[in-house]
């Protein structure tokens, strides 16, 4: 079948149309009779289903679109050498050329039967196809050919990887990852390494509490059993990402991954079950995993506007064709800088379970805390991805696994004996829990520890939390694993130490001896020249980090221009000084290739 070449923020993507799968938006319980199999319940706002493979897919889709209860139908695609379905959501990110006639642009949209959903201050126009529009991929390609349009990028969604791995060895009923005494009650023949834990119980003692109920951890995942004894009553501001509603789906089709992830971060201390790292924290559950830039913006914006303090993400990808682009990065950066009243949400991503020398692309985004996994013997978990960008590791399976909550509809591990569906050693611990592991488990553990740090000191910025975690981590492995700066591709800066991290957070708050934030060199560029603005940030540390990063990457002068707005300071970050606007534009592609979204700014009057 022929392929279609699609422009994305990461370059061009060759897609081939599926011969059997389509995406449908269905109202009601009954599926159209043409549906042979339900493949994926949620992808880009559609249900991915299989139609009769013997029929021409175009004619089959046209027919099912006429069915009662089907509001929208779309083709499903596959990228070269990849078996994950790709769904166009029907949205297009369009940027007209500079100084384009806006009336002419709107006439073009009308002729193509497109609806303007958003007209953003940065010049981006978010478009939506209608029933009268052509295929959104073809519409975007047609727009891209027009001289008046600079970019037209269709919004695509693909399933991302949930970083869970089944336990590899036995289990015990005690939570050794919080405090490891070197043995497991009732299992005398499996020794652990004493002290191979995250020091969470010691952090509780230092705080003299289990953390603050004023701290909210957002967990972005699928499959939350909010009636589970360890999670009941903890949910605030839930969001179904695709539908933009507060009611979350339940049952097998909804998935099971979010329940154990949430429990590791904040399972309640209620006398039964398990206890999370930050038992008093509140849970903000966001159901839905998405590559779509539009839905990615929605999820992180919801976290910011609804008051999340920490955002835990046990998912991602190591496939280069689906690495996050500029729009994804902007959404994450917005949370890192705008959240918590400008102090920034703490964003934690899993490094991934592929066992590669490459960590999850989402975990590589600037400012994100990237988490790998260590074992009950303080060794590197073999499945845990390695490489530059890893921040810390945290205890998970690979030796003894972690005990976590399980959704009431969780079917357990397939293809094992019935007694080992939930517990690897076959010993029943009741209907509410199961073995859990992977970097999916290590990530919410670190998210919970970040919540304890904010309980100790609510004024910490996102950059300060990350710096403290790095500085207080325990070096495990061998000295040869680490370079002269104390960094390891296998362990990051080491295994997370909650007690030391909380102690440092208290020191920042208590005596004023904390290191000053990195200085910002405020430089007012020469008036009458031109520059490329890449960002406008209020977070002091983020401005300093970005400035240093830009200077290193491009060897161009970087200017910081402060602007007072609504009683606070925002810093414009500007790259280069050019005599003309044309010379400035000559450098745009260079910055875009590195993931930035620059625009030309005349420097007269800046500051």
Residues 6+ apart with CB under 8 A from 306: 236, 237, 239, 284
Dihedral of alpha carbons 428, 434, 436, 441, sign? negative
* Residue 320 DSSP symbol: G
Catalytic residue among 440, 455, 535, 538: 440
* Token duo for residue 481: 């694993």
> Number of C-alpha atoms within 13 angstroms, CB side, residue 433?
27
pLDDT, averaged in runs of 10, over the chain (607 residues) = 78 88 85 86 90 85 87 90 89 92 92 93 92 90 93 92 54 62 72 88 88 95 96 96 95 95 92 87 96 96 97 96 93 95 97 96 96 94 95 92 93 80 81 92 97 95 95 93 92 95 86 46 56 76 71 77 62 83 86 79 58
Contact present, 294 and 226 (Cβ < 8 Å): no
Reported as type and span, the H/E element at residue 404 is: strand 402-405
Chain Cα centroid distance, residue 332: 7
Beta bridge partners of 571: 537, 562
Tell me which residue of 203, 197, 179, 195 sits closest to 502, measured CA to CA.
203
Distance CA 194, CA 192 (A): 6
Contact present, 606 and 524 (Cβ < 8 Å): yes
Q: What is the pLDDT of residue 166?
A: 45
Distance CA 42, CA 355 (A): 28
Catalytic residue among 221, 225, 410, 425: 221
Pairing of strands 530-537, 568-578: antiparallel
Q: What is the pLDDT of residue 437?
A: 94
- Give one DSSP letter per residue of 167-180, joined into a string: --S---SS-TTT--
Q: What is the pLDDT of residue 165?
A: 58
Distance CA 310, CA 307 (A): 9
Distance CA 591, CA 585 (A): 10
Beta bridge partners of 40: 48
Catalytic residue among 75, 257, 380, 433: 257
What burial letters (b/e) apply to 253-286, b meaning 16+ CB within 10 Å? ebbbbbbbbbbbbbbbbeeebbbbbbbbbbbbbb
Q: What is the pLDDT of residue 358?
A: 96
Q: What stretches of 517-582 adopt beta strand conformation (E)?
A: 530-537, 558-565, 568-578
Residue 91: helix, strand or coil by DSSP?
Answer: strand
Q: What is the pLDDT of residue 606?
A: 39
Reported as type and span, the H/E element at residue 293 is: helix 293-305
* Token duo for residue 237: 């501001």
Length, in residues, of the chain: 607
* Token duo for residue 231: 């999670």
Contact present, 384 and 439 (Cβ < 8 Å): yes
Pairing of strands 282-287, 216-221: parallel
Task: Assign domain 161-510 to its CATH architecture.
Answer: 3-Layer(aba) Sandwich (3.40)
Q: What is the pLDDT of residue 169?
A: 28
Query: What is the tens place of the pLDDT at every residue in 439-459?
Result: 999 999 999 999 999 999 999
Tell me which residue of 440, 439, 445, 435 sits closest to 469, measured CA to CA.
445
Is 257 an annotated catalytic residue? yes
Per CATH, the number for 530-602 is: 3.30.70.1070
Pairing of strands 310-313, 346-350: parallel
Is 440 an annotated catalytic residue? yes
Q: What is the pLDDT of residue 258?
A: 97
Is 240 an annotated catalytic residue? no
């Amino acid at each position: 079948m022929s392929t279609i070449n699609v422009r994305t923020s990461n370059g061009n993507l060759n897609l081939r149309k599926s011969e059997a799968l389509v995406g449908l938006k269905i109202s009601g319980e009954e599926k159209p009779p043409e549906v042979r199999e339900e493949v994926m319940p949620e992808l880009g706002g559609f249900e991915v289903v299989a139609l009769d493979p013997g029929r021409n897919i175009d004619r089959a889709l046209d027919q099912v679109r006429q069915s009662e209860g089907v509001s929208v139908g779309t083709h499903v695609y596959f990228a070269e050498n990849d078996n994950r379905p790709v769904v166009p959501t029907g949205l297009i990110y369009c940027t007209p050329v500079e100084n384009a006639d806006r009336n002419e642009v709107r006439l073009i949209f009308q002729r193509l039967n497109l609806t303007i959903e958003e007209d953003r201050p940065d010049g981006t126009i978010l478009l939506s196809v209608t029933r009268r529009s052509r295929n959104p991929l073809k519409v975007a390609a047609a727009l891209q050919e027009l001289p008046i349009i600079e970019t037209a990028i269709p919004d695509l969604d693909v399933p991302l990887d949930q970083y869970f791995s089944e336990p590899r060895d036995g289990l015990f009923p005690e939570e050794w990852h919080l405090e490891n005494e070197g043995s497991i009650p009732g299992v005398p023949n499996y020794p652990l390494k004493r002290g191979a834990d995250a020091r969470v119980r010691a952090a509780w003692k230092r705080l003299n509490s289990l953390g603050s109920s004023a701290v909210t951890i957002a967990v972005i995942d699928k499959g939350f059993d909010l009636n589970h004894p360890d999670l009941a009553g903890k949910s605030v501001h839930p969001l179904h990402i695709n539908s933009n509603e507060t009611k979350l789906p339940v049952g097998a089709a909804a998935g099971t991954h979010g329940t154990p992830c949430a429990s590791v971060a904040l399972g309640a201390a209620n006398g039964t079950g398990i206890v999370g790292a930050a038992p008093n924290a509140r849970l903000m559950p966001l159901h839905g995993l998405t590559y779509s830039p539009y839905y990615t913006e929605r999820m992180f914006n919801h976290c910011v506007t609804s008051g999340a303090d920490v955002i835990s993400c046990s998912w991602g990808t190591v496939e280069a064709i689906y690495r996050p682009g500029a729009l994804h990065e902007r959404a994450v950066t917005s949370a890192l800088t705008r959240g918590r009243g400008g102090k920034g949400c703490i964003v934690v991503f899993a490094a991934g379970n592929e066992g590669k020398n490459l960590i999850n692309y989402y975990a590589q985004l600037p400012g994100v805390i990237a988490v790998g996994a260590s074992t009950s013997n303080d060794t590197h978990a073999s499945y845990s991805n390695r490489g530059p960008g890893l921040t810390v590791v945290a205890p998970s399976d690979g030796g003894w696994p972690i005990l976590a909550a399980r959704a009431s509809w969780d079917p357990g591990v397939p293809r094992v004996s019935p007694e080992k569906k939930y517990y690897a050693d076959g010993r029943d611990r009741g209907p509410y829990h199961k073995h859990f592991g992977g970097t999916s488990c290590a990530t919410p553990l670190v998210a919970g520890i970040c919540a304890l740090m904010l309980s100790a000191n609510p004024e910490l910025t996102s950059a300060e939390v990350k710096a403290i975690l790095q500085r207080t981590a325990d070096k495990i492995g061998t000295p040869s694993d680490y370079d002269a700066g104390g960094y390891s591709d296998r362990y990051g800066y080491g295994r997370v130490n909650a007690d030391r991290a909380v102690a440092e957070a208290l020191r920042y708050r208590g005596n004023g001896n904390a290191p000053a934030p990195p200085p910002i060199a405020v430089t007012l560029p020469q008036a009458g020249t031109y520059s490329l603005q890449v960002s406008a940030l209020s977070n002091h540390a983020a401005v300093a980090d970005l400035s240093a990063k830009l200077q290193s990457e491009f060897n161009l002068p970087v200017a910081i221009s402060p602007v007072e707005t609504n009683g606070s300071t925002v810093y414009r970050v500007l790259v280069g000084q050019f005599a003309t606007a044309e010379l400035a534009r000559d450098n745009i592609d260079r910055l875009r290739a590195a993931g930035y979204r620059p625009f030309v700014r005349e420097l007269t009057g800046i500051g």
